[in-house]
Amino acid sequence: MSFRERTRILLGDAGIEALAGASVAVYGLGGVGGAAAMDLVRGGLGRIVVLDFDIVQESNLNRLYFAYRRDIGRPKVEVFAERAREINPEMEIVARSDFMSGEGAASLVAAGCGAHLDCVDSLNAKVNLLAALATSGRPFAASLGTAGRTDPTRLRLSPIRESRGCPLAREVRNRLGRRGVALDFPAVWSDEPPVPPVPRPADPAEERPVPGRVRNTQGSGPSVPQTAGHFLAAWAMRTILSGIELPARTGEHHERD
């Protein structure tokens, strides 16, 4: 039995074909982006573009959906591509180990994708990427703050203008608003107050230096970031399947009776 067969029951042949012919870009393969990207692999997507500069670190293992201890020190995009091919060997994977700076974000927007998922955790790069996507007219959704949270039931997917209680969301809204970007694109956010970060460890073996940023270390666990990633992947698949006639739901049958 094909790994797509259970999905076929949900989506029918037309849905399976639509996903197999579609492409999605995921920017950032952390706790959120890693879960979103792997959901798209398991969902039978035909092509995925993933972009992340970083390597797998031991501190990632509590939330990075596709990584194991044996992967420490390897580029995230390389590890992701390896795991993805084990699940869906027919999938085309474009793995880009690029650093997304604030100024260069627009140049890294992937062409030919039916949906784009912003899972970037650097504020300047995130704002520049979102502004570029909004200007291009491409369908996209964003992940906002998930670090420092423990309750996935407080996550919501809504237009970013509705977000509240999230310091990152507030800053992103303010910066995009000053650029004239409409705040109507979908975003995953939480109104749970975050636990504050702590100073970054000084041991250079513990964390990889990243160009252009010096930040504190955010606390994070598996549940909230991965759930946010599931939200985003589901949104991307719904976007691809928009207009496709899917199998009727039980409730729909009852309404016809």
Decide: 62 and 222 in contact? Cβ < 8 Å.
yes
Other beta carbons within 10 angstroms of residue 210's beta carbon come to 12
- Please state the length of the chain: 257
Do 11 and 249 form a contact (C-beta atoms < 8 A)? no
Output the six-digit token pair for 105: 């974000």
CA gap 230, 232 in Å, rounded: 5
Q: How many C-beta atoms lie closer than 10 Å to residue 6's C-beta?
A: 9
pLDDT for the residue 202: 58
Read off the pLDDT of residues 224-242 as tens digits, 9 standing for 90 and up: 999 999 999 999 999 999 9
Q: Which amino acid is at 231?
A: F
**DSSP letters along 93-131, please?**
EEEE-----TTTTGGGPPSS-SEEEE----HHHHHHHHH
* SS3 state at 198: strand
pLDDT of 1 reads: 72
Q: Pairing relation of β-strands 47-51 and 23-27?
A: parallel
Max distance between CA atoms of the chain, in angstroms, equals: 67
Assigned superfamily of 5-192+217-256: NAD(P)-binding Rossmann-like Domain (3.40.50.720)
Q: What is the pLDDT along the chain (257 residues), one digit of tens a residue?
A: 788 999 999 999 999 999 999 999 999 999 999 999 999 999 999 999 999 999 999 999 999 999 999 999 999 999 999 999 999 999 999 999 988 777 778 889 999 999 999 999 889 999 999 999 999 989 999 999 999 999 999 999 999 999 999 999 999 999 999 999 999 999 999 999 999 888 876 555 555 555 555 568 889 999 999 999 999 999 999 999 999 999 998 875 544 44
Report which residue type is found at 154: R
Q: Which of 177, 151, 173 is nearest to 164 (CA)?
A: 173
Give the C-alpha separation, 108 to 103, whole Å.
10
Q: Does the reported pTM lie above 0.85?
A: yes
Cα–Cα distance, 84 to 92 (Å, whole number) = 10
- Which residues fall within 8 angstroms of residue 91, CB to CB, at 6 or more apart? 41, 45, 46, 47, 48, 84, 85
- The first and second tokens of residue 89, run together, are 């060997």
Q: What are phi and psi of 217, to 5 degrees?
A: -100, 125
